Amino acid sequence: MTTPQEFIASALARERNRAGLTISELARKAAVGKSTLSQLEAGSGNPSLETLWSLATALGIPFWRLVEPVTDAVTVIRVGEGRGIEAAESKYIGTLLSAGPKSACRDIYRISAEPGPPRKSTPHAAGTVEHVILIAGRALVGPIDSPTTLNPGDYMSYRGDAPHIFEALETGTIATLISESLL
Amino acid sequence: MTTPQEFIASALARERNRAGLTISELARKAAVGKSTLSQLEAGSGNPSLETLWSLATALGIPFWRLVEPVTDAVTVIRVGEGRGIEAAESKYIGTLLSAGPKSACRDIYRISAEPGPPRKSTPHAAGTVEHVILIAGRALVGPIDSPTTLNPGDYMSYRGDAPHIFEALETGTIATLISESLL
DNA sequence: AACATGTGTTCATTATATAGAACAGTTGGT
DNA sequence: ACCAACTGTTCTATATAATGAACACATGTT
């Protein structure tokens, strides 16, 4: 049985860490007193809607995402691999890449990247799994110590709560990224 | 372009009507002043977390449900649209296409389709939402009575519990499809 | 070592959200 | 007709959330 205070405290800490911000930084960015934020994360606070909204905006997440309940293998399926679900009527093939468990919170991103220094992601919340489907170009994706090169159409999933990278190898690299937070 | 005030005002009115309660009833049930609730729904208010929590509890819904965005019919985000999350280090742009609620069971598919008779899907379970990101080619996607043409990189979401189609318009059409069962 | 800049905390004051009373308008019963 | 019980609104007193300064501590620089 979580109280509102505990709830928002852990949610804030979680999202703030995910964004890689300190209390001071977030407070400044959201234009709220850092004392306010400090007390909030300490569990002794009853923030107003405006305060929460400002924090969510500064964290770059939709507001309601902030108040959501909290919540190793690496899989690569190349184009042409995987069991397809064909439709008799037309040339339509659906390949199940990942059957999702219940109680999963997933965000869908479109990634545009250009060659250069790779984007290293700090680990997200525990239990996070990321799925990448490369649309165009080529990219080196996955755990920081064992990334894999993906070509257009390739699918890959890996743990998002461990350090991982996304490095475009060609200009105009585009991908779909699904970040899934398992409870 | 919604302000926190408008947002919570409409959300409260929506959920309260759904529960079939009057302002007075809800206020009594949630142990908040009915004047408070009145002002909130009028859009002139900045409720505290405790107030919102009490209201959600009285409405018989988990707190986050109160602040969940309305699941609107169809969303299309063209390439280049949407607010990007840029990484300073490299040319990497992540666009949030859909932030997913918890308690969602989602399956990820890769779709390969060729021009021909469209694939008509019979409605799935109630509450199902489908997300499509077109990888290559061109496709006519969406509700059967108002489909939209997608180009590579385009994102679209629509209700999966209503009849919908996927019709490839070019050879070598590839897409990512995420089928999401809410609740 | 002394200093500057960062961190997160605790404490004053000030701004404001909340609660409850008083209000006018509706509905239904006697 | 009155009266009672309801609706949602506008008021004011009070409780309290937000603030910024002062604080102790850590880190890196000259």
Show pLDDT as tens, one digit a residue, over chain B (183 residues): 678 888 888 888 878 886 788 899 999 999 999 899 999 998 888 999 999 999 988 887 778 767 765 433 343 444 444 444 444 433 444 444 454 544 456 667 777 777 777 766 666 665 567 778 887 888 888 877 778 888 877 777 777 777 788 888 888 777 787 777 655
For strand D, is any atom closer than 7 Å to the CB of A46?
yes
Please report the pLDDT score of residue B85 as a whole number.
Answer: 42
Smallest CA-to-CA distance from B168 within A91, A79, A134, A175 is with: A91
CATH of region B75-182: 2.60.120.10
Contact B100 A95 (CB under 8 A): no
Please report the pLDDT score of residue B37 as a whole number.
Answer: 93
Nucleotide D20's nearest residue (CA vs C1') is A33
Nucleotide nearest to B39 (CA to C1'): D9
Q: Which whole number is the average pLDDT over A87-108?
A: 47
Cα three-residue angle B163-B169-B172, rounded to 5 degrees: 110
Separation of CA B128 and C1' C5 in angstroms? 52
Please report the pLDDT score of residue B1 as a whole number.
Answer: 62
Higher pLDDT, A29 or A155: A29
Those residues with Cβ within 8 angstroms of residue A71's Cβ, 6 or more apart along the chain or in another chain: A103, A105, A125, A127, A181, A182, A183, B102
Contact A89 B178 (CB under 8 A): no
- Min CA distance, A113 vs chain B (Å)? 4
Please report the pLDDT score of residue A1 as a whole number.
Answer: 63
Q: Chain-wide mean pLDDT for chain A?
A: 72
**pLDDT at residue A92 above 60?**
no
- Selected for mutation to probe chain B from A105, A119, A176, A179 (highest B CB count within 10 Å) is A176
**Which residues in chain A are closer than 8 Å to B87, comparing Cβ atoms?**
119
Contact B168 A53 (CB under 8 A): no
Please report the pLDDT score of residue A124 as a whole number.
Answer: 64
Separation of CA B58 and C1' D4 in angstroms? 28
- Which residue in chain B has the smallest CA separation from A53? B4
**pLDDT at residue A138 above 60?**
yes
Please report the pLDDT score of residue A90 as a whole number.
Answer: 37
Cα distances (Å, whole numbers) of residue A7 to A47, B53, B162: 12, 11, 36
For strand C, is any atom closer than 7 Å to the CB of A52?
no
| SS3 call for B5 | helix
Q: Beta strands A164-168 and A119-121: pairing type?
A: antiparallel
Smallest CA-to-CA distance from B114 within B47, B174, B183, B33 is with: B174
Instruction: With cut-offs at 50, 70 and 90, classify the pLDDT of residue A68.
Output: low
The structure's pTM equals 0.54
Please report the pLDDT score of residue A122 as a whole number.
Answer: 61
Higher pLDDT, A130 or A91: A130
For strand C, is any atom closer than 7 Å to the CB of B2?
no
**pLDDT at residue A102 above 60?**
no
For strand D, is any atom closer than 7 Å to the CB of B46?
no
For strand C, is any atom closer than 7 Å to the CB of B17?
no
Please report the pLDDT score of residue A48 as a whole number.
Answer: 94
**Which residues in chain B are closer than 8 Å to A87, comparing Cβ atoms?**
119
Which positions on strand C lie below 7 Å from a protein C-beta?
A: 6-11, 16-21
Please report the pLDDT score of residue A120 as a whole number.
Answer: 65
Domain with CATH 2.60.120.10 in chain A: 75-182
Instruction: With cut-offs at 50, 70 and 90, classify the pLDDT of residue A71.
Output: very low
**pLDDT at residue A47 above 80?**
yes
Contact A117 B153 (CB under 8 A): no
Strands ordered across the beta sheet of A164-168: A119-121, A164-168, A139-143, A148-150
Please report the pLDDT score of residue B54 as a whole number.
Answer: 92
Please report the pLDDT score of residue A145 as a whole number.
Answer: 74
**Which residues in chain A are closer than 8 Å to B109, comparing Cβ atoms?**
85, 94-97
Instruction: With cut-offs at 50, 70 and 90, classify the pLDDT of residue A142.
Output: confident
**Which residues in chain B are closer than 8 Å to A166, comparing Cβ atoms?**
92
How many Cβ pairs closer than 8 A exist between chain A and B?
Answer: 219
- The superfamily CATH assigns to domain A4-66 is lambda repressor-like DNA-binding domains (1.10.260.40)
Q: H helices within B34-100, ranges in order? A: 34-41, 49-59, 63-66
- Selected for mutation to probe chain B from A108, A129, A130 (highest B CB count within 10 Å) is A108
Nucleotide nearest to A22 (CA to C1'): C7
Domain with CATH 1.10.260.40 in chain A: 4-66
Q: How far apart are CA B70 and CA A8, in angstroms?
A: 22
